[in-house]
Amino acid sequence: MAYPRENEKKGVAEAAVDYAAEMPRIPGQHEYVSLLGLRSFDAASLARRIEDGLSYVAFRKLKGRLKVSSVELADAALIAHRTLARRKQAGRMQPDESDRLVRLARVFSRAIELYGGDEDAARAWIKLPIRAFGGVSVLEMAKTEVGAREVEKLIHQIEHGVVI
């Protein structure tokens, strides 16, 4: 792609940014952040957003996509109910809470992929007791990073026909 004349005076880095801005948006591996209402899909931007704390709107967006109550999502994200009320009033989550919301979005996104884009089926599955997890649901397992990794491992095994 040839850059417009105005870019000839810019450095290589600025021209690359202009070129990237003209490219069509392909969400890629961080597409799950759209479940939180975010539009930036690159890892560096996501990390900055988590460090700054996501907007309370992200909590509401994920709650709506999961079709769970505020209490259920707060429990899954290990956020005390009184703390959630303060975050709602402040309009912003703390970085650790934001990180847990992103983790839940990532797991839900993988479940949606597992069910071929069927969000209703994915929602039902993440709430079911899973024998591989000792009867604990995916939502319960995803409370911790270790649990979320185990869920992602299980999804990978299911996708590849590995008997559990």
Residue 18 falls inside a structural domain: no
* Across 7-22, average pLDDT: 39
Within-domain flag for 20: no
Query: Phi and psi dihedrals of 133, rounded to 5?
Result: -105, 20
Note the pLDDT tens digit of each residue in 90-123: 999 999 999 999 999 999 999 999 999 999 999 9
Going from the C-alpha of 116 to that of each of 47, 94, 112, 122, 152, the distances in angstroms are 28, 33, 6, 9, 15
Please indicate, yes or no, if residue 8 is contained in any of the structural domains: no
Global confidence as pTM:
0.80
Residues pairing with 137 in the sheet: 129
Q: Give the three-state DSSP class for 34.
A: helix
Which residues is 130 bridged to in the sheet? 136
26-59 residues labelled b (16+ CB within 10 A) or e (exposed): eeeebebbbbbbbeebeeeebeebbeebbbbebb
If one counts the domains in the chain, the total is 1
The pLDDT value recorded for residue 144 is 97
Q: Does the pLDDT of residue 31 top 90, yes or no?
A: no
Does residue 125 belong to any structural domain of this protein?
Answer: yes
Residue 164 included in any domain: no
pLDDT over 60 at 164, yes or no:
yes
In which domain, by residue range, is 144 found?
28-159
State yes or no: pLDDT of 2 exceeds 90.
Answer: no
* Residue 28 pLDDT: 54
